[in-house]
């Protein structure tokens, strides 16, 4: 039988499919891989969907038991995520400071590239997807440069595929690297394995065709859990 995390993951995959966020077809990933599925968090594009998305993040974060002093949203997609998750955490009794970065430094007014609460203590990075790990590395560098501790990462989807280092595939995922090499905590709502289980339970011709293609992709680029 399913535990709470598995059930939350299945509900989330269904929500992402219903919202058009999780799609099947042919997509090129940032690392240049041809993927049979793509998760575009930018398509959680109304208030109700954002609220529900934030609930999923907050549940996964609170269930993980990770302790943190503040949240950080990397520009651009991490900004609304971290903002809405901070709201949801506060509604659940955990009100923490919130910050985000700009992509370009401002040369007037308040200046600088960081906005919101000063980066300090144990920082929880909130982002959408981890594939090869490029985005996570950038956030970690920003937090360290500010003298704070990159403590944890919360993402919606762990694609569980090989990270890249200097353009080369390596035999571990970005999530595994962040956990094992950097010693950070990672909270995920769903992962590739949950997506495969979802497709398996879908049945039908479309469901099994998608399942087959996603399995083939995992054979080529996936890592073991
Ligand atoms: P990495 O920085 O390589 O870990 O890839 C994560 C980023 O890839 C995300 O922040 C997105 O910009 C993008 N992405 C998705 O949003 N959804 C996917 O399903 C796959 C990717 C991707 O390009 O790998």
What pLDDT, in 10s, does the model give residues 20-55? 999 999 999 988 999 999 999 999 999 999 999 999
Token readout for 97 is: 């400071």
- Model pTM? 0.94
Sign of torsion over alpha carbons 171, 212, 29, 60: negative
Residues annotated as catalytic (active site), given as ranges: 106, 108
Q: What are phi and psi of 177, to 5 degrees?
A: -65, -45
Mutating to test ligand 1, I would choose from 23, 30, 182 the residue with most ligand atoms within 8 A of its C-beta, which is: 30
Q: How far, in Å, is the centroid of ligand 1 from the Cα of 30?
A: 6
In the structure, what pLDDT confidence band is assigned to residue 171 with cuts at 50, 70 and 90? very high
Positive or negative: CA dihedral 176, 135, 217, 58: positive
Residue nearest to atom 24 of ligand 1 (CA): 29
List residues near ligand 1 (CB under 6 A).
29-31, 38-40, 128-135, 174
Where in 29-144 does DSSP place strands (E)?
Answer: 34-39, 70-73, 98-106, 112-116, 122-126, 129-130
Q: Which residues pair with residue 124 across a beta bridge?
A: 71, 152
Long-range contacts formed by 104-112: CB under 8 A, 24+ apart: none
> What's the rounded mean pLDDT across residues 70-95?
97
What is the pLDDT at residue 108?
65
What distance in angstroms lies between residue 93's CA and the mean position of ligand 1's atoms? Answer: 31
Q: Which of 132, 135, 196, 204 is nearest to 163 (CA)?
A: 132
Phi, psi of 88, rounded to the nearest 5 degrees: -65, -40
Atom of ligand 1 nearest to the CA of 133: 4
Distance CA 154, CA 25 (A): 26
Ligand 1 centroid, distance to 214 Cα (angstroms): 16
**So what's the pLDDT on residue 205?**
87
> Whose C-alpha lies nearest to ligand 1, atom 3?
132
Give residue 161 CA to ligand 1 midpoint distance, Å: 11
pLDDT at 211: 97
Q: Is residue 151 a contact partner of residue 185, using CB atoms and an 8 Å limit?
A: yes
* pLDDT band of 109, cuts 50, 70, 90: low
Residues 6+ apart with CB under 8 A from 201: 10
Let me know how many helices (H) and strands (E) the chain has, helices first: 7, 11
pLDDT of res. 111? 59
CA distance 31 to 211: 22
CA gap 173, 131 in Å, rounded: 7
DSSP-based three-state secondary structure for 56: helix
**CA of 184: how far to CAs of 61, 152, 157, in Å?**
14, 5, 17
Around Cβ 69, how many Cβ atoms within 10 Å?
Answer: 16
Ligand 1: atom nearest CA of 127 is: 10
Rounded to the nearest angstrom, the distance between the alpha carbon of 1 and the centre of ligand 1 is 31
Report the nearest-CA residue for atom 16 of ligand 1: 40
Entry field: residues in the chain: 225
Q: Report whether the peptide linkage leading into residue 193 is cis, meaning its omega lies within 30 degrees of zero.
A: no
């Amino acid at each position: 039988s399913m535990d709470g995390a598995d059930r939350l993951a299945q509900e989330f995959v269904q929500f992402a499919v219903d919202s058009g966020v999780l799609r099947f077809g042919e997509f090129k990933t940032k690392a240049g891989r041809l993927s049979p599925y793509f998760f575009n968090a930018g398509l959680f594009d109304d208030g109700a969907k954002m609220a529900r998305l934030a609930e999923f993040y907050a549940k996964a974060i609170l269930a993980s038991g990770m302790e943190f002093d503040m949240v950080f949203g990397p520009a651009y997609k991490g900004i609304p995520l971290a903002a809405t998750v901070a709201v949801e955490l506060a509604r659940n009794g955990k009100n923490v400071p919130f910050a985000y970065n700009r992509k370009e430094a401002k040369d007037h007014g308040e200046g600088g590239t960081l906005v919101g609460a000063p980066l300090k203590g144990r920082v929880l990075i909130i982002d959408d997807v981890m594939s090869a790990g490029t985005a996570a590395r950038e956030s970690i560098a920003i937090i360290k440069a500010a003298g704070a501790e990159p403590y944890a990462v919360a993402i919606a989807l762990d694609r569980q595929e090989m990270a890249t280092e200097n353009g080369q595939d390596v035999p571990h995922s970005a999530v595994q690297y962040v956990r094992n090499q950097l010693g950070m905590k990672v909270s995920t709502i769903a992962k590739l394995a949950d997506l495969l289980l979802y497709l398996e339970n879908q049945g039908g011709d479309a469901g099994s065709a998608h399942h087959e293609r996603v399995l083939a992709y995992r054979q080529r680029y996936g890592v073991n859990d």
